[in-house]
Structure 1
Amino acid sequence: MARAIKPRVGMYENVKNQFEKAAEVMGLDESVKKILSITNNEIVVHFPVKMDDGSVKVFTGYRVQHNNALGPYKGGLRYHPTVDIDAARALATWMTWKTSLAGLPYGGGKGGIQIDPKQYSQAELERITRRFTYALGDNIGPEHDIPAPDVNTNAQMMAWIADTYMSTKSPSERSKNQHVVTGKPVGSGGLEGRDRATGFGVVVTLEAWAKLNGTTLEGKKYIVQGFGNVGYWAAHFMHKNGAILIGVQDATGTLYNPEGIDPEGLLRYQTENNTIMGYKNMEEYDSDKFFGIDCDIIIPAALGNQITEDNAATVKAKVVAEGANGPVDTDGEVILLEKGVDIIPDILCNSGGVIGSYFEWLQNRNGEIWSMDDVIVKLRKKLEDAFNGVINTSVQYKTDLRTAAYIRALSRIEMAYKQRGIFP
């Protein structure tokens, strides 16, 4: 008899499963659990934009605000065909846990537009971004909901958002609203080092993992899925640690070289050719077998639900460092943990980005300019403190690192609700 096909669990289902597990292990207050089980606000906007050829297209944008018990909603905007209300719910919820775990005065929000940005010109993307910002209106704001870059969005787009939002304010108020968005270009109020903060954070947590296991990253072989901002910068800092990149996968294909791949050379090639395929001395590899490559470390830094029940058993690495949000689904995680594979969870591993965003927000809010050295030192301290806290909680509750990270995040929010009470 043929085995029944198990339906694929969506990202939001994964988030809820992870939340339920942690809530049960820690004994989360039932009232707080009810509040955190749902989102606060879900905004869907439809807006028209004129294309370069004079035609008009109507786009759909999303912004989900999960929780703001600890501070303003915080989280990125992504431009991708997979963006929908469920994806935004999942990502917004993860941001609530991520900001809490990092000890930031933020809640969680997320959103974006359901488009493939490669199909549009730069001028069209500017109009789409500005019109989306205008459609969101006062649903975002520097003390209310602060967007940032995410998949397929960048510093330039954040500058357009900031300019559009500030243009809707009176002249006397415009300068007070620069921190409505983070991840801006340095010349427009951005933070030195914000571009590399997420990838740097991935490597800091891997350094801490290696130290915990009595080793270093020197000579460790690793693979990276996704060679965008997070994947590249993770590879850059792994290279500085003496680790060896042997496999890279992105939407254009998969490369493999057991002798090592130069991340700087690959970045130059990718920038010139808009693909990683064809890079010198590289072997093309079966994309479906990517996570089965014999290596020490896997850094999935692309999209969610990449390591699943279908491929988790092939993983040979000792640790998976989640540079993306939700790259390992709950079924895949069970298999990895049974195999003894460590997972540095996304809300810890890739939190360098939102920590960097917090520094930029402070810089703008206080009229300061932070140096790269200041940023890197402060980032490392925040990340190492968070990692050590998760390890201690894992030992205390005798549980895996993801559940421990959730417990720490949920405990901080639970305390806020218990101290403040529920209105009215």
Structure 2
Amino acid sequence: MPAMLRYMTTAATQTASNPDEPTFLKSVELYYDRAAKLSGVPGGTLSHLRAVDALLRVTFPIELEDGKYEVIEAYRAQHSRHRLPVKGGIRYSEEVDLQEVEALASLMTYKCAVVDVPFGGAKGGIKIDPKKYTVEQLERITRRYTMELCQKKFIGPGIDVPAPDVGTGPREMSWIMDTYRQFNVDDVNAAGCVTGKPLSQGGVRGRTEATGLGVYYGLREFLSYPQVQKRTGLSGKVKDVSVIVQGFGNVGYYAAKFFENNGAKIVGIGERDCSIYDPNGLNVEELQKHYKAHSSFRNFSATSKILEEPTEILEQECDILIPAALERQIGLRNADKIKAKIIGEGANGPVTPAAHEYLEKRGIVVVPDLLLNAGGVTVSYFEWLKNLSHVRFGRMNKKFDESSRRKLLDLVETNAGRELTELERKTIVHGAEEADLIYSGLEDTMIQACQETKQTAELKNVDYRTAAYINAIQKIAVVYKDSGMLFMK
């Protein structure tokens, strides 16, 4: 099937959807069009915003160990350059094609706008299964891809800043940065050409868990809203909810971990080969150790139920369901089987448009991807700022803050007539370090974005997804309007 006609019909993404349900790209466009009609933004601006600004498709050969060559296909899409740089991950997957990166780049534009991160949206991908290549081959592929981006001006701290995605991580980001530096030896801000790097290469503390933590912060905020409590019958307290997470990668693991750490019961986890369910609760840390050792949930516990069909986990009893794996996991084939009261989209595009409408009619609260999984790009923004400022967060003020607090404590102790214990003093005096500031910035960002989404949903009488899109469209339209729209007339 030609790449541009592929309908995301892998075994993992077609199970829940009917053949006539739209592609991932069409789904994003449908959500956009629905919100655009209610945004009050002029039609010309809406048309401009809907289109992808620039697309790059490259091919290059890679020599394999047996002396043979393989031609690698790779992409980069820049959806909107209303703000620069544009931002978006790079994924390594055999399912990557132009249509997918267009959809993801579009979603990144709206995602950045929703959480007030001053970037445009982009996305990239290399059409490979990274498990089939050696580390040396992956490094050559990554560096060659980066060279193509450098030559075509599709990368740079002020142009386009990639990040990790499916199949990539800090290692690949480090290779990308090093390659960019070889082509831009005089760029003092070269570390800012990519985010998600290891700490030793200019990364930021808290980036690894950022998306999963953002999912937790967002759902915790929605749980606190009286409107959500009324629709779901939930108390609003995290400790009172049961949670199922589909996907045990970076996003799913940390989302489950933060919910568990705050008192929630994790009753199910889904992965590719099988899923595990236990109404009495699972120990996330122990489950991860087992999964790392055996690459499966099988034989983890005698009391847990193993579900052979991975998507069955979506249909089990729970209060909050977090699809944090792939696109199109909830469609018309299984939407009527969903038992959760809240669906929090940890992945990009896990619910099809028709399924979304059906779930809303059933009274299920859907917290959308462009809001809920924006934690990753938010902390990427913080990393980019760190790279441009060339100083670790907290380095300049941590000890000064601690000194000021000690003086205040001394005064309080003198007036109160009681000395605090050493532990009490350390707890109160502790100055904010980089991770503390990152967590604080992410929490504040997610709370603000959730509140704005709720307010627009109430004002326009629409669901939360449409409200988030409306907010994104209006914010971007203001940037276009105030910039003067050069060369538009």
TM-score of the superposition, structure 1-length normalised?
0.96
Q: 1:51 Cα shift?
A: 2.0
The residue aligned with 1:151 is 166
The residue type paired with residue 99 of structure 2 is: D
Residues 84 and 160 of structure 2 are in contact (CA less than 8 Å); yes or no, is this contact kept in structure 1? no
Matches within 5 A, 1:184-203: 184-203=197-216
Query: Partners of 2:65 and 2:270 in 1: how far apart?
Result: 33
Residues 79 and 113 of structure 1 are in contact (CA less than 8 Å); yes or no, is this contact kept in structure 2? yes
Q: Tell me which of 141, 150, 172 is aligned to 2:156.
A: 141
* Greater C-alpha Rg: 2
Q: Tell me which of 470, 481, 485 is aligned to 1:407.
A: 470
Between stretches 128-137 and 291-300, larger displacement belongs to: 128-137
Residues 99 and 108 of structure 1 are in contact (CA less than 8 Å); yes or no, is this contact kept in structure 2? yes
Q: 1:289 Cα shift?
A: 2.5
Instruction: Render the CA deviation track for 1:36-82: whole Å, top value 9, x for unaligned.
Output: 12100010010111223332211111100000112211000111122
Q: Tell me which of 218, 223, 232 is aligned to 1:205.
A: 218
Q: 1:251 Cα shift?
A: 1.4
Provide structure 1 residue ranges, at least 5 long, that are not aligned to the other structure.
Answer: none
Matches within 5 A, 1:357-372: 357-370=380-393, 371-372=434-435
Residues 70 and 100 of structure 1 are in contact (CA less than 8 Å); yes or no, is this contact kept in structure 2? no
Q: 1:272 Cα shift?
A: 2.1
Query: Partners of 1:339 and 1:346 in 2: how far apart?
Result: 20
User: Are 2:258 and 1:237 equivalent residues in the alignment?
Assistant: yes
User: Are 2:267 and 1:246 equivalent residues in the alignment?
Assistant: yes
TM-score of the superposition, structure 2-length normalised?
0.84
Query: Partners of 1:334 and 1:144 in 2: how far apart?
Result: 37
Query: Partners of 1:180 and 1:388 in 2: how far apart?
Result: 32
The residue aligned with 2:71 is 58
Identity %: 38
Matches within 5 A, 1:261-410: 261-281=282-302, 282-285=304-307, 286-370=309-393, 371-410=434-473
Q: Secondary structure at 1:418's aligned position in 2?
A: helix
Q: 1:339 Cα shift?
A: 0.6
Q: 1:249 Cα shift?
A: 1.1
Q: Secondary structure at 2:99's aligned position in 1?
A: helix
User: Are 2:177 and 1:162 equivalent residues in the alignment?
Assistant: yes
Q: Secondary structure at 1:218's aligned position in 2?
A: helix
Provide structure 2 residue ranges, at least 5 long, that are not aligned to the other structure.
Answer: 1-17, 230-234, 394-433
Residues 93 and 127 of structure 2 are in contact (CA less than 8 Å); yes or no, is this contact kept in structure 1? yes
Query: Partners of 1:99 and 1:359 in 2: how far apart?
Result: 13
Q: Secondary structure at 2:224's aligned position in 1?
A: helix
Q: Secondary structure at 1:195's aligned position in 2?
A: coil
Query: Partners of 1:99 and 1:274 in 2: how far apart?
Result: 34
Q: Secondary structure at 2:331's aligned position in 1?
A: coil
The residue type paired with residue 59 of structure 1 is: I
The residue type paired with residue 404 of structure 1 is: A
Q: Secondary structure at 1:423's aligned position in 2?
A: coil
Query: Partners of 1:155 and 1:382 in 2: how far apart?
Result: 24
Instruction: Render the CA deviation track for 1:181-205: whole Å, top value 9, x for unaligned.
Output: 0000011100000000000000001
Residues 45 and 136 of structure 1 are in contact (CA less than 8 Å); yes or no, is this contact kept in structure 2? no
